Amino acid sequence: MKAGIIGLGNMGGRMVKRLLEQGVEVGVFDLNKDFVRKFVEIGAKEATSPADLARNYPYVLTVLPNVFIVKETLTSPEGLMEGMNSDSLLIEMTTSIPSVTKELSALLKEKGLKMIDAPVSGGVKKAEEGTLSIMVGGEEADFERAKPLLECLGSNIFHVGEAGAGHTIKALNNMISATTLAATGEAMALGVKLGLDPEKMLNVINASTGRSFSSDFKFPNQVLTRKFEVGFTLDLMVKDLKIAMAMAEEEKVPMFISSASFQLWKHAWSQGGGDQDHTAIVKYIEEMFSVEIKGS
């Protein structure tokens, strides 16, 4: 198999490595030439532009910060659309705005080009292991065609509906994930204030109904250790929450719980800058409670 990847950051870079390990021929493009060099050294081939990548690889994966950059990468001169042909399949893995994804999908269709949206969940660790969850929107035949490649990257692969459906469920998943992390942070901070030991609290929570990915993974590995480096920034989490809130607004439905969580996330984001790891939200909760949730 041959696949080209645009966007070699925290997620895309690990996907390149994983695909190379699986014997896939990989082409790469990124504005950051240091990243490009790093992957060329381990066997990837450099493309000179998105169009060049699309001319040489039947599967093209975009793993970019947001949908506006995806749109630019598709439509600008020497962009992907200039290089794609009827045998190309664009696999759009960015966490994006579903309505814009639908527009892009329709634009490609007009030109006889094919695309699926295939955002991922599981973070850098699962990207490294090839055990991501991948949620796909688009036509069944395109999903089937992408499946052998997606199976190199993920162990839970779902076709959830038409174009944009993958991006819809991804935003909803992250809204739950963000809200759970914030709620767990508040509970842990209150427990510490009341004199409880954070490790013992997590032992109980993780054997009880309060358990989540946040309590099971993020708190023991990132908060108690004071590492705060999952590899997913505050910028990206706030972007995902904005997408979810906009979807709700579009449908004219209230989001009581998620709105409260969103305000807390925006507070942390405006205070400390978006480059911090998203787990740093807990530091802002700690500040409000005047405690530190630290392991021994």
Q: Which stretch binds ligand NAD (CB under 6 A): 5-13, 82-90, 151-159, 198-206?
A: 5-13
**Closer residue to ligand NAD, CB minimum distance, 32 or 271:** 32
Count of residues interacting with ligand NAD (CB under 6 A): 26
**Closer residue to ligand NAD, CB minimum distance, 28 or 192:** 28
Tell me the residue number closest to ligand NAD, measured at CB: 9
Instruction: Give the per-residue contact string, 78-107, with ligand NAD (x = CB under 6 A; - = no).
Output: ----------------xx------------
Backbone φ and ψ of 31, nearest 5°: -70, -25
Distance, in Å, from the CA atom of 69 to the CA atom of 71, rounded to the nearest integer, reads: 5
CA dihedral sign, ordered 210, 122, 242, 247:
negative
CB of 209 to ligand NAD, least distance (A): 26
Q: Which stretch binds ligand NAD (CB under 6 A): 37-45, 120-128, 142-150, 281-289?
A: 120-128
170 is catalytic: yes
Distance, in Å, from the CA atom of 141 to the CA atom of 168, rounded to the nearest integer, reads: 20
Q: Which of 133, 153, 116, 148 is nearest to 12 (CA)?
A: 153
Residue 136: DSSP 8-state: E
Is residue 187 part of the contact set for ligand NAD (CB under 6 A)?
Answer: no
3-state secondary structure 1-64: CEEEEECCCHHHHHHHHHHHHCCCEEEEECCCHHHHHHHHHCCCEECCCHHHHHHHCCEEEECC
Catalytic: which of 170, 218, 239, 283?
A: 170
31 pairs with which residues across the strands? none
Q: Which of 181, 195, 191, 261 is nearest to 223 (CA)?
A: 181
CB of 46 to ligand NAD, least distance (A): 12
Sole binder of ligand NAD in the list 39, 143, 219, 232 (CB under 6 A):
232
Alpha helices in 139-289 (DSSP H): 140-153, 165-193, 198-205, 213, 234-250, 256-272, 281-289
Is residue 260 part of the contact set for ligand NAD (CB under 6 A)?
Answer: no
Is residue 280 part of the contact set for ligand NAD (CB under 6 A)?
Answer: no
CB of 64 to ligand NAD, least distance (A): 5
> Which residue numbers are catalytic?
170
Binding-site ranges for ligand NAD (CB under 6 A): 6-12, 29-32, 35, 63-65, 69, 73, 94-95, 120-121, 123-124, 231-232, 236
